[in-house]
Amino acid sequence: MLNIVLITGISGSGKSVALRMLEDTGYTCIDNLPVRFLHEFIASTRDSGLERIAVAIDVRTPGDLDDLPGILTSLRAMGTALHVIFLDADDNTLMQRYSESRRRHPLTDRLRHQGLDPSLQDCITRERELLAPLRNQEHVIDTSDLTPGQLRAWMRDLVQTDRASVILTFESFAYKRGVPHDADLVFDVRCLPNPHYDAQLRPLTGRDAPVAAWLAQFGSVEAMIEDIAAFIRKWLPLYMQDTRNYLTVAIGCTGGQHRSVYVTEQLARRFADHSPLLVRHRNPMLQETRP
Known binding residues for GTP are: 58-61
- In 3-state terms the chain splits into helix, strand, coil percentages (rounded to 5) of 45, 20, 35
Strand partners for 3: 52, 81
Q: How far apart are CA 75 and CA 38, in angstroms?
A: 10
Residue stretches of the annotated binding site: 9-16, 58-61
| 12: Cβ contacts below 8 Å, ≥ 6 apart | 89, 93, 94, 97, 98, 101, 105
The residues near 186 (Cβ < 8 Å, ≥ 6 apart) are 179, 250, 252
- Known binding residues for ATP: 9-16
Buried (b) or exposed (e) across 181-205, using 16+ Cβ within 10 A? bbbebebebeebebbeeeeebeebb
Which residue type sits at 23?
E
